[in-house]
Chains A and B, each alone.
Chain A
Amino acid sequence: MAVVQDVHGHHDHHPSGIMRWVMTTNHKDIGTLYLWFSFAMFLVGGFLAMGIRAELFMPGIQILEPELFNSFTTLHGLIMVFGAIMPAFVGLANWQVPMMIGAPDMAFARMNNWSFWLLPVAGMLLISSFFVPGGAAAGGWTFYPPLSAQGGLGVDMMIFAIHILGASSIMGAINIITTILNMRAPGMTLMKMPMFVWTWLITAYLLVLVMPVLAGTVTMLLTDRHFGTSFFNAAGGGDPVLFQHIFWFFGHPEVYIMILPAFGIVSEIVPTFSRKPLFGYASMVYATASIAILSCIVWAHHMFTAGMPTVGQLFFMYATMLIAVPTGVKVFNWTATMWRGSLTFETPMLFAIGFIFLFVIGGFSGVICAIVPIDIQVQDTYYVIAHFHYVLVSGALFAIFGGVYYWLPKWCGRMYDVKLANMHFWLSMIFFNVAFFVQHFLGLAGMPRRIPDYSLQFADFNMISSIGAFGFGLSQILFLYIVIKCIRSGEKAADKPWEGANTLEWTLPSPAPYHSFETPPVIK
């Protein structure tokens, strides 16, 4: 991509101290805030996961009372989904989207500040709900009624937190859509946009589509709890299964909201370290759109056992299995990009390849779960836990790690410790599989999810899984150390540390100046 640009003459003055971060409207500052917040929430969610795995290390009740255990599983899911993974992708979008399209900032800079600063409020609501009478919500991250209709103040705090998180996500999505559609540099046509920008554009549309549905769902739940309605209360003529339908109408696109930006990151990393253009760029754009459309008509595969006519089961089974087609197109294209490329295995590439390998495993187990007779067997077992952790940890999280290692030199102008970063990858890769692969066996053997105790025949695999989880958790402390070491004392990074990279951000100095592309570059 030929680029003409002027990177000189920037004025880097901005407020200093804490007010810089509170008042900032700069996309890079807000991106940094999002990323640190999501990492903090990742540690909190990880702490809850360690609690769960410590309790499940051996049969019997050792550490957590059953009610607290249920709160741990519930808040682990909510915090990881809404507090860690989603904000991390928004943080990456804040940093990268303007730089990748040659824009000076996000379209609505003040709204950007507001959408971030809502997050800590919601995060604090979720965490502090552990300390209110009755404790935190304990009905699972999907908060199905009647359990969520019965909980105490913790459930109300969770509902309020979800409202706030939803508002933040919608504002973030509107900002990203407007930025991409209106602020591209001259010559940056839609078809020249990097894949990360494309995937975020489609993700943002999905967010605008489904977050209001979630807001409506939790509002109905709130009115059921406090204002005498009976949307989901069977005793008042309502239907708990209605909740499941509208929750999953949000929930399944939400899965793709968490994976499409990951596809975008991998689609940036793989060509860079293969030193080849992305194979089938057009197909990648179309496959992303296809996945987004299909994701809206498959929701009821999450509730095959809730009671559904055969016609409904077959419809959702067929539609779900069809999603494997565009997803397969993507995996094929990444593999074809690597085929006969001059591959090198820097840390971002390791995470990208790890992503492809493990996401395919998660995708296959997803297709298995889509088949009604099998799903009826494995519903609510550890097989499903294994499936979605392969998609969301080795999928979304590995892509985030890859993205951070890929762009960190651009963000802070320093290179991370390569040896430690590679060690972080290998430790994560090994411990992740130790933790989660055995959960397939546990699920197939019939171990149910969301229980603090289990039968003796599950003991060995649970012990292995817990060891893997502890190792995985500790490995992420290493990640924190690597990032801090990089920021403080990493070697000076070149403006373009990866020779195969050719998107617009690499034309900027490292670290990227506080204000970039005030004069738009011209893309030829």
Chain B
Amino acid sequence: MNNTEHQTGKASTLQVAKAVFWSFLGIRKKDDLDRDAKMIKPHQVVIGGIIGGVIFVLSILTLVKVVTS
């Protein structure tokens, strides 16, 4: 796959996960953001965001359980 095809192709699960992770931190490189915008479809962001949100909540809950155990 050449670079042009890569830019307009479908995003991998890992790429969606990375985009969601960086959105939780609120930091992203401009180039990566441009690539995300070209490749990631809105429904991928929504599904990735929901899964990311659940993981995020479970992570905090786990931390709380560890602290209080």
Contacts and interface: CB of A to CB of B under 8 A. Distances in A.
A325 B26 CA distance: 8
Contact of A314 (B28, B34, B56, B64): B64
Interface stretch (A111-119, A243-251, A289-297, A442-450): A289-297
Highest count of chain A CB atoms <10 Å: which of B26, B60, B64 = B26
A487 B67 CA distance: 60
B1 to A, nearest CB: 23
Highest count of chain A CB atoms <10 Å: which of B27, B53, B61 = B27
A297 to B, nearest CB: 6
B34 to A, nearest CB: 6
Contacts, number: 68
Query: Which secondary structure dominates chain B's binding surface?
Result: helix
Given A190-B37, A191-B34, A297-B53, A310 B68 contact: yes
B43 interface: no
A514 interface: no
Interface residues of B, number: 24
Contacts of A282: 28-30, 32-34
Given A293-B49, A293-B53, A319-B60, A283 B27 contact: yes
Interface string B40-69: 000000000100010011001101110110
Given A282-B33, A285-B33, A315 B27 contact: no
Given A191-B33, A285-B28, A310-B68, A318 B23 contact: no
Contacts of A280: 27
Nearest to A294: B24
Contacts of A285: 28, 33
Given A191-B37, A282-B33, A293-B49, A325 B25 contact: yes
Contact of A286 (B27, B60, B65): B27
B57 to A, nearest CB: 6
Interface string A408-436: 00000000000000000000000000000
Interface in A314-339: 314-315, 318-319, 325-326, 329-330
Nearest to A297: B57
A287 interface: yes
B67 A314 contact: yes
Interface in A222-281: 280-281
A315 B23 CA distance: 20
A319 B57 CA distance: 8
Contacts of B68: 310-311, 314
A59 B36 CA distance: 60
Interface in A191-207: 191
A344 interface: no
Contacts of A329: 25-27
A142 interface: no
Contacts of A191: 33-34, 37
A315 B64 contact: yes
Interface string A181-197: 00000000111000000
A189 B25 CA distance: 24
Contact of A189 (B26, B37, B64, B67): B37
A293 B37 contact: no
A315 to B, nearest CB: 5
Given A293-B49, A293-B53, A315-B61, A283 B67 contact: no
B68 to A, nearest CB: 6
A286 B65 CA distance: 29
A362 B53 CA distance: 26
Interface of B: 22-30, 32-34, 37, 49, 53, 56-57, 60-61, 63-65, 67-68
27 contacts: A189-B37, A191-B33, A281-B33, A282-B28, A282-B29, A282-B30, A283-B26, A285-B33, A286-B22, A286-B25, A286-B26, A286-B27, A286-B33, A287-B27, A288-B26, A289-B23, A290-B23, A293-B49, A297-B56, A310-B68, A311-B64, A314-B64, A314-B68, A315-B60, A319-B57, A326-B25, A329-B25
Given A191-B33, A282-B28, A282-B32, 20 more contacts: A191-B34, A280-B27, A281-B30, A282-B34, A286-B25, A286-B26, A286-B27, A286-B33, A287-B26, A287-B27, A290-B23, A293-B53, A294-B24, A297-B53, A310-B68, A311-B65, A311-B68, A314-B67, A325-B25, A325-B26
